[in-house]
Chain A
């Protein structure tokens, strides 16, 4: 028991010290990257409910992120002239995204696997194209001058001094995002071990059998879509307030794929794995950035555009991981057993008996 308290305290210290250390050693832009990593963690945890828990492949998840972001951008900026506070917009974003999740879920209830993936992909694109073409969302130009997040009189957008430390805005956001990420982790954890979590597992395993157990699969699948979407909406609200500017280009299909990669690479259905996958993939492209400097110094010329090279390295890293560890970097014990069944189990068990 004592040991657990110590580990908890240690984790807390690391989490609090992380932005200061990062700032000191790597520079301020890396703290910003940490903030983004946390946003992606929330997104990946939300998608994990749909893909990892209920086994529904969703390739349009970024749409819910967009819904949350645009809600905040429109109701807290000079765009329409409304300046609603976060405490109102955060639950609204979650609810609105959840209802979009249900709207997506309802017509796709009968679909599975590849077919579901195609429809959800279409849904993601439809939302993006709407945002691009509607007047109320200011079309492709997007919305800028979005209010920074504010709770009471505390504005996250400006620096504050605490005990002589000067805390710039990215630090404020870091701590806000940590709190909300912790909340989402807690909800996800409770869900996985709940009655509804077990029902999702049953649907993922065998839908017909789940139906014949008396599970209302319709309702359960809608719940998965709605809950996953709600987390997407929350991250969207935070993203808009943090970034101060959003446009449809932030919500392309590539983003959906990236979030899915985080879930799969880390270990579908396993919280620690998904968190690790999200942080790793959010930071990895940045980590490859010095490669262009390296070229400049050694060859006196940049042979490959750093942006392209980054994505190439990134793709290679993904492929290598998937070949070596198809179950993800940090999978749940169950999934690991499933994918390594053949080499882990004695021959007598492998052979299908009578």
Chain B
């Protein structure tokens, strides 16, 4: 298995506050890796640094072996990263179809785009039903589907998902997670940042547990699920 993304000693600062204090992680080709942790643990900061929305204070980010540090975000997208931002971030006044077209903004191959559009509609029949509807009128879950579909339209090599379960009803969370699992099964490499630790661990192959800006724990998802510390702190169970 080749390493797609490698992060070394990544530090992210907001002014004097260190949100991410030198973490290491790596993602192999085709893996579904999750980063779990409580509010304020530094998960989103980590992800935003990977996606180029934040400039890391120090450390290395390598994508396919190449150093990415502080490349502007539009270049990262062209290299094959796709971010589904926290809170979905669909374009509310554009239609579903226009939203999906924006996802392929950096691409030039029209036939490929049409094929991918059909692929997305196949994966999310709900979006096809509502292709002419304004994205702002979709339900939260549908918007999340749209955000994921839109990211896939860029044909990324690595899909970065920020809290896809946020603000969704439990039933919809299940649906979204099955979608994520399916996307991963089809060969997409996924890095999933999530607060809903149980679901994230059930879907992922490997997990990083983040606490206070550091990675506390790093193991296969199954090991995490049975680890007493994780069970106590994130799954709300006594072992």
Residues of A whose CB lies within 8 Å of any CB of B are 198-199, 201-202, 205-206, 208-218, 334-335, 337-338, 341, 345, 349, 352-354
Enumerate chain B residues within 8 angstroms of A198, measured Cβ to Cβ: 98, 101-102
Across the interface, do B91 and A202 meet the contact criterion of CB distance under 8 Å?
A: yes
Contact with A along B54-80 (1 / 0, CB 8 A): 000000000000000000111011100
Contact A216–B85 (Cβ < 8 Å)? no
B94 CB-CB contact with A under 8 Å: yes
Instruction: Report 19 cross-chain contacts, Cβ distance below 8 Å, ordered by A residue.
Output: A198-B98, A205-B93, A206-B89, A206-B90, A208-B85, A211-B53, A212-B83, A213-B102, A214-B74, A214-B105, A218-B72, A338-B136, A345-B137, A352-B140, A353-B141, A354-B139, A354-B140, A354-B141, A354-B172
B150 contacts partner chain A, Cβ-Cβ < 8 Å? yes
State how many angstroms separate the Cβ of B163 from the closest Cβ of chain A. Answer: 14
B139 touching A211, Cβ below 8 Å: no
Complex alpha-carbon distance, A148 and B90, angstroms: 52
Contact (Cβ within 8 A) A214 B106: yes
Q: Does B219 contact A (CB under 8 A)?
A: no
Q: Do B91 and A209 touch (CB < 8 A)?
A: yes
- Interface size classification for chain B: 35 or more
Most chain A beta carbons < 10 A, residue from B76, B90, B93, B101: B93
B134 lies within 8 A of A216 (CB): no
CB distance A215 to B93 under 8 Å?
A: no
Residue from B89, B141, B142 in contact with A212 in the complex, judged by beta carbons closer than 8 Å: B89
Partner of A215, one of B105, B150, B168: B105
CB-based nearest B residue for A201: B94
Q: Which residue of A lies closest to B101 (CB)?
A: A198
Chain B residues within 8 Å of A210, by CB: 91, 102
Does B169 lie within 8 Å of A208, measured CB to CB?
A: no
CB–CB A205/B91 < 8 A: yes
Contact of A349 among B51, B77, B82, B137 (CB under 8 A): B137
* Chain B neighbourhood of A209, CB < 8 A: 85, 89-91, 147
Question: Is there contact, CB below 8 Å, between A214 and B154?
Answer: yes
A349 to B134, CA, bound (A): 11
Judged by a CB distance under 8 angstroms, whether B171 is at the interface is yes
- For A202, list chain B residues within 8 Å (CB): 91, 94, 102, 105
Q: What's the minimum C-beta distance from A197 to chain B, rounded to whole angstroms? A: 12
Residues of A within 8 A of B94 (CB): 201-202, 205
Q: Which of B129-179 contact A (CB under 8 A)?
A: 134, 136-137, 139-142, 147, 150-151, 154, 168-169, 171-172
Give chain A nearest CB distance to B52 CB in angstroms: 8
Residue of A nearest to B79 (CB): A214
| C-alpha gap A95/B217 in the complex (Å) | 58
B150→A213 contact, CB < 8 A: yes
Name the CB-closest residue of A to B86: A208
